[in-house]
């Protein structure tokens, strides 16, 4: 089969790899129908995630059709359409029992990281019963790709950890797909003001149509001064970091008010400066989280009912064998006016 293979920082190729096979009775092999590229894949390509080694097939999002299941898989059979969760979970270990699937002793975020991932014609999914979700007939499968990672990530790591409440003023730093997923799902809780901060005018304009009440281009204006003027010098109740660089985490530290939450989502490859000299007295909570995907079934219902429309995050469509071009588009998102790119096998 063909797959997108990582060969060290900055190096990737679309090449021939062996088709995956069932290795454990709890495995399924899934034929990829649609997949996508995540900001995390760009971090991998930058070399921010050294656990990803030369030869790895990357990608951790997608929908597909079950090709084969191991003997002990009972929820799925050949031919079933499924959402692949970016998090693999056994459902039985101490962490799974606490609904912290991200730290499953046998899984967690392994797909496209420690084991081969979804940017391929086929993928092996360990613990298939707990790591795949069924797609009912007639569902919009393209929209459901957003349930693999970005919707649960924006919601769990950003909105839930950030304790967004009715009437709050929140800021989301980063208007990529993850920041946009936080923007869409924050509105379950009707915050009064949502300030979106990025350096990409196109993404900021899209954010306005998705419900942002204010947008700030931090490359062109002083984001701290603007947030302070919008909040009558009080700062925001929640700052969600959805980029993964020091500058944006440090921006969150500067725009939070007393009692606020800083909810980090970004994958960080470098250290950041923690300004405890200004924050120690401000009753601030800082949270970090690897997405658990425990809210996937709930989010699935909001998508199916039309309350949430993640399809509007998709801006570009490619064939799977055009994936190098798709990376180029996603890497140059501002120029290409790109959000989520969809690859169809
Ligand atoms: N915690 C988790 O479980 C988890 C899961 C998935 C993704 N992530 C991370 O979430 C982050 C966002 O992912 P994405 O897919 O939206 O990525 P993306 O690269 O598409 O978006 C990042 C956005 O940040 C903006 N940006 C970059 N530098 C900036 C700066 N200095 N100031 C303001 N804006 C800036 C870019 O213009 C872009 O719009 C990444 O770090 C990704 O690795 C975390
Ligand atoms: Zn991801
Ligand atoms: Zn487990």
Q: Which atom of ligand 1 is nearest to the CA of 177?
A: 16
Closest CA to 85 of 45, 140, 30: 30
Give residue 23 CA to ligand 1 midpoint distance, Å. 34
How many angstroms separate the CA atoms of 146 and 160, rounded? Answer: 18
Residues near ligand 1 (Cβ within 6 A): 38-40, 42-43, 149, 153, 157, 173-179, 197-200, 203, 218, 242-245, 247-248, 265-267, 289-291, 333
Q: Which tokens go with 308?
A: 């949430």
Which ligand 1 atom is nearest residue 179's CA? 16
Q: Any idea which ligand is nearest the CA of 96?
A: 3
Instruction: Output the tens digit of pLDDT for each of the chain's 345 residues.
Output: 999 999 999 999 999 999 999 999 999 999 999 999 999 999 999 999 999 999 999 999 999 999 999 999 999 999 999 999 999 999 999 999 999 999 999 999 999 999 999 999 999 999 999 999 999 999 999 999 999 999 999 999 999 999 999 999 999 999 999 999 999 999 999 999 999 999 999 999 999 999 999 999 999 999 999 999 999 999 999 999 999 999 999 999 999 999 999 999 999 989 999 999 999 999 999 999 999 999 999 999 999 999 999 999 999 999 999 999 999 999 999 999 999 999 999
**Does the model's pTM come out above 0.95?**
yes
Cα(171)–Cα(183) distance, integer angstroms: 9
Cα 282 to ligand 3 centre (Å): 37
DSSP state of 214: E
- Alpha-carbon Rg for the chain in angstroms: 20
Ligand nearest to the CA of residue 127, numbered in listed order: 3
124-167 residue pLDDT tens: 999 999 999 999 999 999 999 999 999 999 999 999 999 999 99
CA 320 to chain centre: 20
CA of 150 to the centre of ligand 2 (A): 6
CA of 48 to the centre of ligand 1 (A): 13
The pLDDT, as a whole number, for residue 301 is 97
Q: How many C-beta neighbours within 10 Å does residue 325 have?
A: 15
Asked if 149 and 291 touch (Cβ cutoff 8 Å), the reply is: yes
The token duo for 300 is 């699935």
Q: How many degrees, rounded to 5, is the angle at CA 11 between CA 9 and CA 12?
A: 125
For residue 200, give the ligand 1 atom closest to its CA.
37
Question: Ligand 2 centroid to 91 CA: how many Å?
Answer: 21
Q: Which of the ligands is closest to the CA of residue 223?
A: 1
Residue nearest to ligand 1 atom 35, measured at CA: 198
Mutational pocket test of ligand 1: of 112, 176, 200, the residue with most ligand atoms within 8 Å of the beta carbon:
176
- DSSP letter at 109 equals S
Asked if 45 contacts 250 with a C-beta cutoff of 8 angstroms, the reply is: no
pLDDT in tens, 207-231: 999 999 999 999 999 999 999 999 9
- 308 with 295: CB under 8 angstroms? no
Q: What is the DSSP letter of 103?
A: G
Place of tokens 């950041």: 272
Pair 35, 98: CB distance under 8 Å: no
Give strand ranges (E) for 178-301.
193-198, 214-217, 236-241, 256-264, 285-287
């Amino acid at each position: 089969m063909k797959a997108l293979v990582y060969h060290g920082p900055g190096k990737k190729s679309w090449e021939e790899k062996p088709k995956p096979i069932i290795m454990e009775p709890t495995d399924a092999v899934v034929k990829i129908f649609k997949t996508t590229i995540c900001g995390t894949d760009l971090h991998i390509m930058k070399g921010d995630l050294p656990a990803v080694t030369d030869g790895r097939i990357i990608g951790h999002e997608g929908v597909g059709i079950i090709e084969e299941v191991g003997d002990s898989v009972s929820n799925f059979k050949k031919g079933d359409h499924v959402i692949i969760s970016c998090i693999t979970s056994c459902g039985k270990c101490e962490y799974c029992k606490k609904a912290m699937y991200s730290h499953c002793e046998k899984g967690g975020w392994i797909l496209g990281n420690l084991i081969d991932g979804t940017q391929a014609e086929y993928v092996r999914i360990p613990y298939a019963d707990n790591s795949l979700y069924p797609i009912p007939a007639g569902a919009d499968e393209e929209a459901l790709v957003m349930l693999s990672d970005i919707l649960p990530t924006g919601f769990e790591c950003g909105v839930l950890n950030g304790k967004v409440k009715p009437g709050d003023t929140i800021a989301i730093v980063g208007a990529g797909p993850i920041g946009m997923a936080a923007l869409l799902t924050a509105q379950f809780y009707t915050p009064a003001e949502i300030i979106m901060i990025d350096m990409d005018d196109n993404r900021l304009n899209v954010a306005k149509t998705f419900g942002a009440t204010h947008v700030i281009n931090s490359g062109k204006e002083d984001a701290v001064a603007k947030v302070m003027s919008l909040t009558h010098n009080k700062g925001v109740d929640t700052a969600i970091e959805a980029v993964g660089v020091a500058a944006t985490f440090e921006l969150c530290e500067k725009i939070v008010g007393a009692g606020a939450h800083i909810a980090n989502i970004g994958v960080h490859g470098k250290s950041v400066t923690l300004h405890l000299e200004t924050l120690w007295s401000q009753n601030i909570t800082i949270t970090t989280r690897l997405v658990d995907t425990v809210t996937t079934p709930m989010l699935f219902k909001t998508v199916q009912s039309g309350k949430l429309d993640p399809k509007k995050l998709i801006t570009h469509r490619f064939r799977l064998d055009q994936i190098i071009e798709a990376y180029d588009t996603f890497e140059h998102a501002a120029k290409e006016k790109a959000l989520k790119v969809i690859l169809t096998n």
